[in-house]
Chains A and B, each alone.
Chain A
Amino acid sequence: TQLLEQSPQFLSIQEGENLTVYCNSSSVFSSLQWYRQEPGEGPVLLVTVVTGGEVKKLKRLTFQFGDARKDSSLHITAAQPGDTGLYLCAGESSSASKIIFGSGTRLSIRP
Chain B
Amino acid sequence: GAVVSQHPSWVICKSGTSVKIECRSLDFQATTMFWYRQFPKQSLMLMATSNEGSKATYEQGVEKDKFLINHASLTLSTLTVTSAHPEDSSFYICSAIRGSEGYTFGSGTRLTVV
- Of B14-22, B39-47, B65-73, B82-90, which binds chain A? B39-47
Interface string of A97-111 (1 = CB under 8 A from B): 111111110100000
- CB contacts between A and B, total, < 8 Å: 47
- Of A42-50, A56-64, A72-80, which binds chain B? A42-50
Q: Please give 15 more A-B residue pairs, beta carbons under 8 A apart, in addition to A42-B95, A99-B46, A101-B44.
A: A1-B60, A33-B102, A33-B103, A42-B93, A42-B106, A42-B107, A43-B44, A88-B43, A97-B32, A97-B97, A98-B34, A98-B49, A101-B46, A102-B43, A106-B41
Which positions in A face B, CB cutoff 8 Å?
1, 33, 35, 40-45, 48, 88, 90, 97-104, 106
A-B residue pairs in contact (CB < 8 Å), sample of 23: A35-B105, A42-B4, A42-B93, A42-B95, A42-B105, A43-B44, A43-B93, A43-B105, A44-B105, A45-B102, A45-B104, A48-B102, A88-B43, A88-B44, A90-B103, A97-B32, A99-B34, A99-B46, A100-B46, A101-B36, A102-B43, A104-B43, A106-B41
